[in-house]
Amino acid sequence: MHGFASKGNYDKLKEIWSLLELSQTKPNIQAYAAAFECLVNKKEPGSFDILQELSKQFLSNGFSFNDLFNKCFYVGNQREQVLKAVRLLNPSFEPHHSIENIYYTCSLLDHLNSQKSTFKCPAEGLFDEKKILECARKQLELEMSTTVKVQSVDNNSTPSQKVLDYRNKLEDLQEKWKETIRNAIARELESIRAQHNCLKSYRNVNIYPYLRVLNTEQYVDIIIQEVRKLAEGSETFSPTVNLLYRNLANQVRLRYQIKYKKNTKILEKIKAVYSDYCSWYMNSQNSDSQNTRQQWQQLVHKYKAMGADIEQDDKQWPSTVLNSIGKFLYNIIIKDIKIDVNIMKDNVEEEHLLPAFYTVFRGQCQHVKQEIKPHPVLSKLYQSSQPSDLVFDVTMIPMLSPPVPWTSINSGGYIAAKADLIRLPQQAILQWHRLEQTPKQELYPALDALNQLASIPWTINKPVLDVVLQVFRSGGSTKLDIPKPVSAFPSPQPILQSMSKDERSRLYKERAILKRQKAEMFSLWCDALYRLSLANHFCGKTFWLPHNMDFRGRVYPCPPHLNHLGSDMARSLLCFAKGKPLGSNGLNWLKIHCVNLTGLKKRNSVKERLQYAEEILPDILNSAQNPLGGNMWWAESENPWQTLACCIEISHALQSENPENFISHFPVHQDGSCNGLQHYAALGKDFAGAVSVNLTPSDIPQDVYSCVAAMVERERLKDAANDVVIAKYLDGFVRRKVIKQTVMTTVYGVTRFGARLQIAKQLKDIDSFPKDKVWSASTYLVAKTFESLREMFTSTKEIQDWFTECARVISQSCGQSVEWITPLGLPVVQPYNRKNKNHDYTKKSSVKMGEHFVLDMYDRPNVMKQKNAFPPNFIHSLDSSHMMLTSLHCERAGITYVSVHDCFWTHPNSVEIMGKICREQFVALHNEPILENLSNFMIKKYELPNYDITNDTQDMLNVFKQLPKKGDFKLNNVLDSVYFFS
């Protein structure tokens, strides 16, 4: 336990306690517990007297003995030792363990506290209790091993003899490396130990204690795995050394955390609680817990009276320590790992050893990034050996049993492995401090939303996986967005001396383009390989996806490869493990969803989409029955793979005896209509804006992109009539697709320069548009698009401008980062600060070297980034709040719910229920005085009332108080809007 005195240090304890008695500082209760635990078994004369004096001071400081068992954290048998000490003083003492408050303090969720409901298991019927406990045991075994091997789907044929020979060579090489690494670790550890015994090295970071937390064989495994990652990486891109150092050091920390939990008996307690939790998860109908967090908290309380505490405050290793540990291990990789450059050659017995890795410096603007690259022979050896498996960290793959519910910022996710609640850059510690300062009850809404999303079990859609694998193994498909292997690229044309200078220049440019394309395709191909290999590995199994969030509250699954947030192909591979009957309207929702995925009827009514689905039913069935040999109607869709998956589900439903009773595992989506603009329109009660983004009822969906395009075309016609040349060139080219991305991203802070690039790209893709006019035309269209948006969304622009001005005042005048609290109580801090000016320079040039991190608590913010990012980040935190509210209410309604930001998924039979909840929670959210609360928060946070009122502070106060004007839109209209989410 952190901070506990060692039991053999009695004299030191007396000395320290004498100092504490003289100190005016009130000792921490954890320190008292440490002293009680240290004294209890002492046999020296006077130890009991010290214990009595200690208890008097303890009680006089306002503590009670019961506080020792409710406000302290223990590991091992420390709780029992402290209890033994207290009973020496008060033999009749019995600790009373109070359970923490498990209910919401958020006004938006008050009604759920009094609502009587029981958690409905999302995996009901999939397992019995014995099977779920067996899955839990397997999951814990995987986490204890920290890595998982997965069979690669790259090539399922029998390897040739040559491939087997290369594998044997690689295996022999790795065995030699292991012995080399063992010797190198022993050598380097002895060197570090000796250095830190010298006075001259007192300024260095002492990493020796950190390096002793694992044994040599664990370090050998970590380094061997890192060698493989480096060898199999891209030729043209690799992470910078600082990132490599941190990632490698985190592997050490992960293994240490698991070892620590095991040695301190925390893991023993976790296993007991988790076992009971899994049993409850499958039999929750007899419980009064309303969600997974509440049940976990009750189980933790049940086991509170004995053993270690589960929810330990994880002590973060400093970034300097992480970098030093990573550098220590990488020095071994660079200095000691060698390869015989003749290893690929036949009949060459002479060994020529060279370093297997080397350092390169890659220019990037004014900076030079240091990278580590494998020797080409090593890369070729790995490639030629065609590895039959892939190795993943256990935190990068789904779980075989339900995730541990988040109950605090430190506890949740995997069983033994550590998951981060918030995805933050290394230098962003201010938000973490805000989270630590926030009472746990205020974080419950966000934590419960993560828990609800993580509680949904998934499985692999095998019919779709089979088709994707067939395309992947046959060389990929550009049309179907399945990446091709690098071998599919043509060899570059040779450059001959006889060629002219212009020809050689052209070929050099073509080679550079081909090299870049190959690198990009290799990256995409690897991504597809990982995803498909994992999908194949989990095929036929039930799995869960633990979730965490970014600093704004946007939610993501922890496993990065196999999840529902990926590409069209990635989403098509997943379906709900638990199926539900289609019911009376489920089949219709499948058909509507199929049409939605094609993108063909976006401006048609739901009724017309269903009618269209009936008309193309033969194409749907043909796609399902013969995906790659039929007319392949599905391949023309905007989302081909999800369309194919939906076609197959419709076909299976129609083949059943009664479609209403057909058990469907398929997720149907409901998408927000330009969700960011929806939030702006609701914030400003802007009626015109609300109409354009479907906050009001209408017979057909309103298309904001077409509306803006029409307004731009109106202005273009005026300019063309006034002989504006570029306006004439654009005749017939002001299309929805050209301005769509700019309209979509304007709500997220796109600049005019970025918008011009977006529009230029679309114009370039139009063959008939003159390429020499692209730049001037895109400049013209950007101006007209922004003018049209300002005209259509008056309040949106005013709110954006207010956000930007507030951020300028906070970051520039106050010199602080912009902060706010979401309507669900999550504190948000923008992690944008200035770069350190103390750059290193090379001796021969003024090129800036390396990466520089400054902690956002101690450096001035980057004013430009704070200003530009505040409007989009605040809107992201609002759409996250809406998603979380929908999540919590869907859980209470007992329906399946998952989200991809502003795209909500559920079973076909519960689309209407989810839609009703989604609309109700949007209205509830925006009925809150969001802008008023933000204004009050900023005035209080930046302490303007406490300043002497000068002209400057009065101006700042006026900015925060000068809220944008609101319109007359009635929020309740959203409740009747079919196309709000559709």
Phi, psi torsion values for 60, nearest 5 degrees: -70, -20
What region, left, alpha or beta, does residue 770 occupy, with left being phi > 0 and alpha being psi -120 to 50 degrees?
beta
Rounded to whole angstroms, how far apart are CA atoms 49 and 241? 57
46 by DSSP, 3-state: which? coil
Element (H, E) at 807: helix 794-808
Contacts of residue 773, Cβ cutoff 8 Å, sequence gap at least 6: 726, 729
What tokens appear for 195 in the block? 């250095």
What tokens appear for 679 in the block? 């939030």
543 by DSSP, 3-state: which? strand
Cβ 570 vs Cβ 641: under 8 Å: no
The residues that bridge with 832 in the sheet, in sequence order, are none
Q: For tokens 């490698």, what's the residue? A: 248
Contacts of residue 38, Cβ cutoff 8 Å, sequence gap at least 6: 4, 5, 6, 7, 9, 10, 13
Cβ 928 vs Cβ 892: under 8 Å: no
Q: What distance separates the 2 farthest-apart alpha carbons in the chain?
A: 105
CA dihedral (661, 662, 665, 670) in degrees, to 10, reads: -70
Element (H, E) at 906: strand 903-906
* Cβ neighbours of 881 (radius 10 Å): 27
Using DSSP bridges, classify how beta strands 903-906 and 580-581 pair: parallel, antiparallel or unpaired: unpaired
What region, left, alpha or beta, does residue 76 occupy, with left being phi > 0 and alpha being psi -120 to 50 degrees?
left
Closest CA to 341 of 327, 355, 323: 355
Q: For tokens 């990446």, what's the residue? A: 483
Label each residue of 150-206 as H, E or C. Answer: EECCCCCCCCCHHHHHHHHHHHHHHHHHHHHHHHHHHHHHHHHHHHCCCHHHCCCCC
What tokens appear for 367 in the block? 């900076």
Which residues are annotated as catalytic?
A: 671, 740, 902
Cβ 840 vs Cβ 972: under 8 Å: no
Rounded to whole angstroms, how far apart are CA atoms 958 and 956? 5
Rounded to whole angstroms, how far apart are CA atoms 753 and 573? 37
Rounded to whole angstroms, how far apart are CA atoms 736 and 752? 18
Closest CA to 71 of 27, 29, 25, 26: 29
Rounded to whole angstroms, how far apart are CA atoms 982 and 974? 13
What region, left, alpha or beta, does residue 347 occupy, with left being phi > 0 and alpha being psi -120 to 50 degrees?
left
Cβ 527 vs Cβ 520: under 8 Å: no
Rounded to whole angstroms, how far apart are CA atoms 281 and 274? 10
Phi, psi torsion values for 953, nearest 5 degrees: -70, -30
DSSP codes joined into one string, 327-370: HHHHHHHHHH-EEETTTTSTT-----EEESEEEEEEEETTEEEE
What tokens appear for 169 in the block? 């060579």
Cβ 686 vs Cβ 971: under 8 Å: no
Q: First-to-last CA distance in the chain? A: 53
CA dihedral (904, 907, 909, 911) in degrees, to 10, reads: 0
What tokens appear for 360 in the block? 């390169």
